[in-house]
């Protein structure tokens, strides 16, 4: 694996997270969970844009065809699950996984590239991912309590 593959894998996961947040947010339109997911989708989109900027700065190309294919497959799979409390729980678990992967990526990039990229705010990206993960855990556990009590 090389840096291009590593970053494109994370770009794919970021894009998938955005699509999952949007789809789950739309399914919960008009609720607190729907508002949270819509906001999370916007944040994830900003995070993806930051990753793309970093890739551009590093001269790393994007494999958009592979990204689109992965996203289409994952969203199709999510649609097949339907809309139930358990499918919402699965979506939130997937988002949680994606955010923790992103946190790991920012930590790894800071350790490996931090001294070569003056001005890139790795600490800010790490704090943002930690905050997203913390709030998402609370939401996920609330949904789990409701979904598994039924």
CA dihedral sign, ordered 79, 81, 83, 89: negative
CATH code of the domain containing 38: 1.20.1260
Please give the C-alpha separations between residue 85 and each of 4, 24, 81, 90, in angstroms, as whole numbers: 37, 11, 11, 9
Closest C-alpha among 4, 76, 115, 92 to residue 40: 92
pLDDT digits (tens, 9 = 90+) for 118-143: 889 999 999 999 999 999 999 999 99
pLDDT digits (tens, 9 = 90+) for 33-88: 999 999 999 999 999 999 999 999 999 988 766 556 566 666 655 554 566 888 89
Q: Considering only residues 4 and 81, tell me which one the structure prediction assigns the higher pLDDT.
A: 4
* pTM of the complete model: 0.86
Q: Count up the domains in the chain and report the number.
A: 1
Helices (DSSP H) in 28-121: which residue ranges?
32-58, 64-80, 85-113
pLDDT digits (tens, 9 = 90+) for 5-36: 999 999 988 988 998 899 899 989 999 999 99
Closest C-alpha among 11, 9, 12, 17 to residue 92: 17
Provide the domain limits for residue 25. 3-149
């Amino acid at each position: 694996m090389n840096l291009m593959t590593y970053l494109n894998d994370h770009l794919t996961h970021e894009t998938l997270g955005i699509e999952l947040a949007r789809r789950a947010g739309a399914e919960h339109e008009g609720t607190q969970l729907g508002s949270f997911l819509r906001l999370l989708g916007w944040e994830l989109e900003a995070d993806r844009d930051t990753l793309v900027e970093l890739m551009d700065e590093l001269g790393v190309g994007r494999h958009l065809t592979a990204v689109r294919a992965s996203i289409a497959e994952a969203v199709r799979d999510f649609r097949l699950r339907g809309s139930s409390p358990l499918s919402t729980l699965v979506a939130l678990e997937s988002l949680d996984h994606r955010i923790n992967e992103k946190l790991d990526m920012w930590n790894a990039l800071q350790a490996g590239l931090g001294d070569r990229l003056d001005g890139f705010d790795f600490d800010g990206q790490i704090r943002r991912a930690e905050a997203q993960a913390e709030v998402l855990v609370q939401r996920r556990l609330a949904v789990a309590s409701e979904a598994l009590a039924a």
